[in-house]
């Protein structure tokens, strides 16, 4: 799978915040739901800006964040290591109270311009309702991560309409940069490009299962299981008119099927602009319980009655080819015979 | 609106057995068929989805399972429908089931696990009671005589339930009266945000599950709480959680503590290890029927 990044100009931070793209005429302007209008873009990062690293979910050792901290310093950023890094409360990076406080400090500290979650695992949902977003809403900053961090993307998008960055986290940075594959380097560099305001272009190979077409919409999504676990909560996203991307790992095929039924039956598939399917790593069926359908077939059945483009094998997920994606930002999707392309607009 | 209770069964009535979800070989249900006929005194009709020729995970295509289930729901000769087993698949056909005739002439539908989505759909949309209880395999190996399978017989005959179990150190004592709702935790959570979502306000909720990771149970409890399913309960009954898994980086809490933490701020009674589960200990419970839950310092009782 090959993905190119094009340098397509540079959005200044002040400008970006105002870069409200004229969008769908169907939404009433007097009663604006934050997640139905183009997002507020946090200021892009400049050399010398500070990135905070925290562990709102699973635990990570201090040693394990060194490659990420070192590389981001080479990019010209200052690094603030949160006190949950190196902390451990069983599977978590500290108690709920500790993880909440560390996240809160980073959200509220005006010096910190972006917050990278060190890893996923499980735990963001246990603190999201206790976070005080008052300062963050006034001075938005980039929140970075994926997998369990989908909770934060979804919550921030739905409640505040502020863009976030879905990308690899500290535990995916190569220990020795020069030993890393070209693809791994590209995915890590896509984080830097996204944070500095570059508009990214992504490509995916042709798939027989794709549905061709072209669509424009706000990009939302993340980990499928996590999205399902947010249904009907205060962090649940509205997907109407949007480009939805999903990825997951370690789920049974029947579970993928069930989750897509949940998306469908909770109204999240019927009004999409387009569907983007990243990596879905499957857990082998138990003996005698063979599901008998591939993820491609499962998903295509759930969306066959709609007309929007569907793109499979997109470079996002629990895998090496997992590129940084700006959630809440307008994108254009092209699904063609020659392959698929996603462009930030 | 008052809950509708299907007519109880009389000797000679007919029970239809179908598999609306996973595949089941006929041999696995043959003992159940025999007991229902020879010991319990009912006639049995077996739908095409039990012991079908299906080679897939499911007992048939969505259409085949839907047709078989629909036929049993609508057949005037059938007074109760027993799901042979759960697995996965009811959620794929639930929206296509036509309740027009069933609504006017309800009958008991029995099952648990994946069948939870049916109970929840029926209760929330039609206010009709159904039975969360043992399915065909529970009759095997002479177990049809145990009090849990017997509780299904009693429920079908209209005898009111009077269950009890031992206390647990994390129980919160108290009394509650209300309609009883619940089932498999994963399926209850799966229904949230859809037309089959379980209503829990002012009701007693029961949950059970099997084979889930601890963090996953935590996340599901989080979702129940965040979608407003826990704050206005009259009581919570925690059934069996079998075969709980843990990650290499251990969760650090037992399953009882995990669940208790989500309801510790409320005042309603809570009991643990109630005999409703994927194990032998699985009493028949009428979804939507009125029950009285007493969580005491010596024992726990649940009475219709």
Same domain for B142 and B189, yes or no, is no
Same domain for A157 and A28, yes or no, is yes
For residue B15 the two structure tokens come to 């029970």
The enclosing H or E element of A275 equals strand A274-283
Mean pLDDT of chain B: 97
Distance CA B235, CA A228 (A): 26
Measuring CA to CA, which residue among B47, B45, B37 is closest to residue B11?
B37
Residues in contact with B195: Cβ distance below 8 Å, sequence separation at least 6, in sequence order: A265, B95, B121, B124, B125
Would A149 be classed as within a structural domain?
A: yes
**Are the Cβ atoms of A254 and B88 closer than 8 angstroms?**
yes
Same domain for A189 and A239, yes or no, is no
By Cβ distance, the residue of A89, A90, A233 closest to B227 is A233
Would A5 be classed as within a structural domain?
A: no
Would A68 be classed as within a structural domain?
A: yes
**Are the Cβ atoms of B226 and A90 closer than 8 angstroms?**
no
Distance CA B247, CA B164 (A): 34
Number of domains in chain A: 2
Would B186 be classed as within a structural domain?
A: yes
Same domain for B144 and B242, yes or no, is no
For residue A302 the two structure tokens come to 């759930």
**Are the Cβ atoms of B193 and A231 closer than 8 angstroms?**
yes
Pick the last residue of a domain from B157, B174, B194. Answer: B157
Same domain for B131 and B180, yes or no, is no
pLDDT at A23 over 90: no
Same domain for A307 and A172, yes or no, is no
Same domain for A144 and A210, yes or no, is no
Would A7 be classed as within a structural domain?
A: no
Q: Is B231 on the interface with A (CB under 8 A)?
A: no
**Are the Cβ atoms of B215 and A129 closer than 8 angstroms?**
no
Same domain for B58 and B101, yes or no, is yes
For residue B108 the two structure tokens come to 């008991």
What is the separation, in whole angstroms, between the first and last Cα of chain B? 19
Which residue's entry shows tokens 């005999």? B275
CATH code: domain of residue A118: 3.40.50.10740
Q: Is B146 on the interface with A (CB under 8 A)?
A: no
Phi, psi dihedral angles at A77 (to 5 degrees): -95, 150
Same domain for A74 and A185, yes or no, is yes
Distance CA B39, CA A262 (A): 41
pLDDT at A78 over 70: yes
Interval A13-41 mean pLDDT? 50
For residue B44 the two structure tokens come to 């049995």
- Which SS3 state, helix, strand or coil, does residue A279 take? strand
ipTM: 0.90
**Are the Cβ atoms of B57 and A261 closer than 8 angstroms?**
no
pLDDT at A144 over 70: yes
Number of domains in chain B: 2
Same domain for A163 and A80, yes or no, is yes
Please report the DSSP string for chain B in residue order.
Answer: -PPB-PPPP-TT-EEEEE-SSB---THHHHHHHHIIIIIS--EEEE-TTTT----SSBSS-HHHHHHHHHHHHH-TT-SEEEES--SS-HHHHGGG---HHHHHS--EEEE-GGGHHHHHHHHHHH-B-EEE---GGGGTTTGGGSHHHHHHHHHHHTPPPEEEE---TT-B-EEEEEEEEEEEHHHHHHTTTSTTPPP-TTSEEEEEEES-BHHHHHHHHHHHHHTTSSTT-SEEEEEEEES-B--SS---S-HHHHHHHHHTTS-S-EE-S-S-SSSS----EEET-EEEEEE-SS-EEEE-
For residue A159 the two structure tokens come to 């409640």
Mean pLDDT of chain A: 91
- The contact set of A with B (CB < 8 A) is 58-59, 89-92, 121-122, 125-126, 129, 228-236, 254, 257-258, 261-262, 265-267, 285, 289-292
Using the 8-state DSSP alphabet, how is residue A205 labeled?
Answer: -
Would B6 be classed as within a structural domain?
A: no
By Cβ distance, the residue of B195, B223, B250 closest to A233 is B223
Same domain for B59 and B166, yes or no, is no
By Cβ distance, the residue of B56, B92, B227 closest to A232 is B227
Catalytic residue among B52, B54, B113, B216: B113
Same domain for A207 and A337, yes or no, is yes
3-state helix, strand, coil split of chain A in percent (to 5) is: 30, 25, 45
Using an 8 Å Cβ cutoff, are B140 and B92 in contact?
Answer: no
Phi, psi dihedral angles at B2 (to 5 degrees): -75, 150
Measuring CA to CA, which residue among A163, A160, A81, A74 is closest to residue A117?
A81
Burial A44-67 (b: 16+ CB within 10 A, else e): bbeeebbbbbbbbbbbbeeebbeb
Q: What is the pLDDT of residue A36?
A: 65
Measuring CA to CA, which residue among A106, A57, A59, A60 is closest to residue A79?
A106
Q: What is the pLDDT of residue A232?
A: 93
Interval A98-110 mean pLDDT? 98
Q: What is the pLDDT of residue A14?
A: 37
pLDDT at A25 over 80: no
pLDDT at A212 over 60: yes
Would B1 be classed as within a structural domain?
A: no
Pick the last residue of a domain from A157, A179, A195. Answer: A195
Burial B160-187 (b: 16+ CB within 10 A, else e): ebebebebbebbbebebebbbbbbbbbb
CATH code: domain of residue B40: 3.40.50.10740
Tell me the pLDDT tens digit for each residue of B275-303: 999 999 999 999 999 999 999 999 999 99
Confidence of residue A59 (pLDDT cuts 50, 70, 90): very high
Distance CA B196, CA A258 (A): 13
Percent of chain B past pLDDT 90, that is, above it, reads: 98
- Which SS3 state, helix, strand or coil, does residue A263 take? helix
Question: What part of B 171-200 touches A (C-beta under 8 Å)?
Answer: 189-190, 192-197
CATH code: domain of residue A248: 3.50.30.60
Would A315 be classed as within a structural domain?
A: yes
Q: What is the pLDDT of residue A139?
A: 97
Pick the last residue of a domain from B138, B157, B176. Answer: B157
Same domain for A206 and A188, yes or no, is no
Same domain for B218 and B252, yes or no, is yes
Residues in contact with B166: Cβ distance below 8 Å, sequence separation at least 6, in sequence order: B273, B299, B300
Which residues in A lie closer than 8 A to residue B250 (C-beta atoms)? 90-91
Interval B54-74 mean pLDDT? 96
Same domain for A23 and A161, yes or no, is yes
Same domain for B30 and B102, yes or no, is yes
Distance CA B22, CA B90 (A): 9
Distance CA A249, CA A148 (A): 11
Q: What is the pLDDT of residue A13?
A: 37
Distance CA B300, CA B156 (A): 23
**Are the Cβ atoms of B192 and A126 closer than 8 angstroms?**
no
Tell me the pLDDT tens digit for each residue of B142-201: 999 999 999 999 999 999 999 999 999 999 999 999 999 999 999 999 999 999 999 999
Confidence of residue A27 (pLDDT cuts 50, 70, 90): very low
Using an 8 Å Cβ cutoff, are B151 and B161 in contact?
Answer: yes
Please give the residue range of the domain that contains residue B295: 162-303
Would A276 be classed as within a structural domain?
A: yes
For residue B286 the two structure tokens come to 């009428």
Same domain for A19 and A87, yes or no, is yes
Confidence of residue A323 (pLDDT cuts 50, 70, 90): very high
Q: What is the pLDDT of residue A39?
A: 85
Pick the last residue of a domain from A195, A223, A256. Answer: A195
Distance CA B195, CA B87 (A): 21
pLDDT at A12 over 80: no
Measured in whole angstroms, the distance separating CA A76 from the mean position of its chain's CA atoms is 24
Cα angle A28, A16, A149; round to 5: 80
pLDDT at A265 over 50: yes
Measuring CA to CA, which residue among B123, B73, B113 is closest to residue B89?
B113
Measuring CA to CA, which residue among A230, A262, A260 is closest to residue A246?
A260
pLDDT at A29 over 50: no
Cα angle B240, A126, B88; round to 5: 45
| Known catalytic membership, residue B216 | no
pLDDT at A6 over 50: no
Same domain for A119 and A41, yes or no, is yes
CATH code: domain of residue B256: 3.50.30.60
Confidence of residue A233 (pLDDT cuts 50, 70, 90): very high
Would A254 be classed as within a structural domain?
A: yes
Give the dihedral sign, CA B127/B128/B129/B134: negative
Question: How far does B197 lie from chain A, in Å, by closest CA?
Answer: 10
Same domain for B102 and B194, yes or no, is no
Percent of chain A past pLDDT 90, that is, above it, reads: 86
Tell me the pLDDT tens digit for each residue of B230-275: 999 999 999 999 999 999 889 999 999 999 999 999 999 999 999 9
Please give the residue range of the domain that contains residue A222: 201-344
Pick the last residue of a domain from B157, B179, B194. Answer: B157
Tell me the pLDDT tens digit for each residue of B207-228: 999 999 999 999 999 999 999 9
pLDDT at A176 over 70: yes
Would A329 be classed as within a structural domain?
A: yes
* CA distances from residue A122 to A103, B217, B260 in whole angstroms, order as listed: 15, 11, 19
pLDDT at A164 over 60: yes
Interval A64-70 mean pLDDT? 97
Pick the last residue of a domain from A195, A221, A254. Answer: A195
Using an 8 Å Cβ cutoff, are A263 and A296 in contact?
Answer: no
Q: What is the pLDDT of residue A326?
A: 98
Percent of chain A past pLDDT 70, that is, above it, reads: 89
Which residues in B lie closer than 8 A to residue A258 (C-beta atoms)? 88, 91, 190
Interval A177-190 mean pLDDT? 97
Using an 8 Å Cβ cutoff, are A225 and A199 in contact?
Answer: no
pTM for the model stands at 0.90
Distance CA A28, CA B96 (A): 34
Tell me the pLDDT tens digit for each residue of B111-158: 999 999 999 999 999 999 999 999 999 999 999 999 999 999 999 999
Would B39 be classed as within a structural domain?
A: yes
pLDDT at B202 over 90: yes
Same domain for A25 and A124, yes or no, is yes
């Amino acid at each position: 799978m090959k993905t190119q990044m094009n340098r397509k100009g540079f959005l200044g931070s002040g400008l970006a915040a105002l870069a409200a793209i004229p969008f769908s005429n169907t939404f009433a302007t007097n009663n604006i739901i934050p997640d139905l209008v183009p997002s507020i873009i946090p200021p892009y990062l400049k050399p010398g800006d500070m990135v905070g690293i925290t562990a709102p979910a699973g635990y990570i050792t201090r040693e394990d964040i060194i490659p990420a901290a070192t590389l981001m310093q080479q990019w010209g950023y200052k690094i603030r290591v949160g006190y949950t890094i190196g902390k451990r409360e069983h599977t978590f990076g500290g108690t709920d109270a500790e993880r909440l406080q560390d996240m809160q400090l980073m959200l509220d500290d005006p010096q910190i311009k972006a917050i990278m979650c060190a890893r996923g695992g499980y735990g963001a949902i246990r603190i999201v309702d206790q976070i005080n977003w008052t300062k963050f809403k006034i001075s938005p900053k980039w929140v970075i991560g994926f997998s369990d961090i989908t909770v934060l993307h979804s919550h921030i998008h739905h409640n505040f309409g502020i863009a976030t960055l879905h990308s690899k986290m500290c535990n995916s940075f190569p220990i020795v940069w020069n030993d890393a594959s070209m693809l791994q380097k590209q995915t890590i560099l896509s984080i830097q490009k996204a944070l500095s305001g570059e508009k990214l272009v992504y490509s995916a190979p042709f798939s027989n299962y794709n549905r061709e077409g072209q669509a424009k919409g706000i990009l939302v999504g993340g980990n499928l299981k996590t999205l399902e676990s947010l249904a009907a909560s205060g962090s649940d996203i509205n997907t109407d008119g949007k480009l939805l991307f999903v990825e997951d790992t370690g789920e049974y095929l029947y579970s993928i099927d069930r989750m897509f039924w949940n998306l469908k039956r909770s109204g999240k598939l019927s009004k999409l602009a387009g569907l983007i399917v990243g990596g879905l790593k499957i857990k082998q069926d138990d003996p005698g319980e063979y599901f008998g359908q591939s993820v491609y077939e499962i998903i295509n059945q759930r969306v066959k009655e709609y007309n929007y483009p569907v793109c499979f094998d997109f470079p996002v997920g629990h895998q090496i080819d997992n590129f940084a994606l700006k959630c809440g930002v307008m994108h254009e999707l092209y699904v063609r015979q020659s392959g698929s392309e996603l462009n930030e607009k | 609106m008052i809950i509708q209770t299907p007519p109880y069964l009389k000797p000679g009535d007919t029970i239809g057995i179908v598999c609306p979800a996973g595949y089941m070989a006929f041999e696995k249900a043959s003992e159940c068929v025999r007991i229902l006929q020879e010991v319990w005194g009912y006639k049995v009709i077996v739908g095409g989805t039990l012991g079908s020729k299906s080679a897939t995970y499911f007992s048939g295509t969505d259409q085949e399972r839907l047709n078989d289930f629909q036929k049993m729901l609508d057949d005037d000769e059938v007074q109760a429908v027993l799901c042979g087993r759960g697995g996965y698949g009811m959620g794929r056909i639930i929206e296509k089931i036509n309740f027009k005739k069933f609504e006017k002439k309800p009958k008991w539908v029995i099952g648990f696990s994946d069948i939870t989505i049916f109970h929840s759909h029926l209760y929330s949309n039609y206010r009709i009671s159904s039975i969360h209880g043992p399915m065909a395999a529970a009759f095997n190996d002479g177990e049809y005589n145990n009090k849990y399978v017997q509780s299904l017989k009693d429920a079908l005959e209209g005898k009111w339930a009077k269950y009890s179990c031992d206390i647990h150190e994390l129980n919160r004592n108290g009394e509650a009266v209300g309609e009883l709702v619940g089932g498999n935790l994963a399926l209850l959570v799966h229904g949230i945000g859809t037309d089959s979502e379980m209503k829990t306000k002012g009701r007693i909720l029961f949950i059970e599950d099997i084979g889930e990771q601890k963090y996953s149970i935590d996340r599901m409890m989080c979702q129940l709480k965040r979608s407003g399913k826990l704050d206005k309960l009259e009581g919570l009954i925690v059934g069996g959680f079998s075969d709980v898994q843990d990650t290499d980086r251990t969760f650090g809490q037992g399953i009882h503590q995990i669940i208790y933490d989500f309801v510790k701020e409320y005042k309603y009674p809570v009991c643990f290890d109630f005999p409703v589960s994927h194990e032998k200990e699985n009493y028949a419970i009428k979804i939507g029927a009125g029950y009285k839950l007493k969580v005491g310092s010596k024992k726990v009782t649940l009475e219709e």
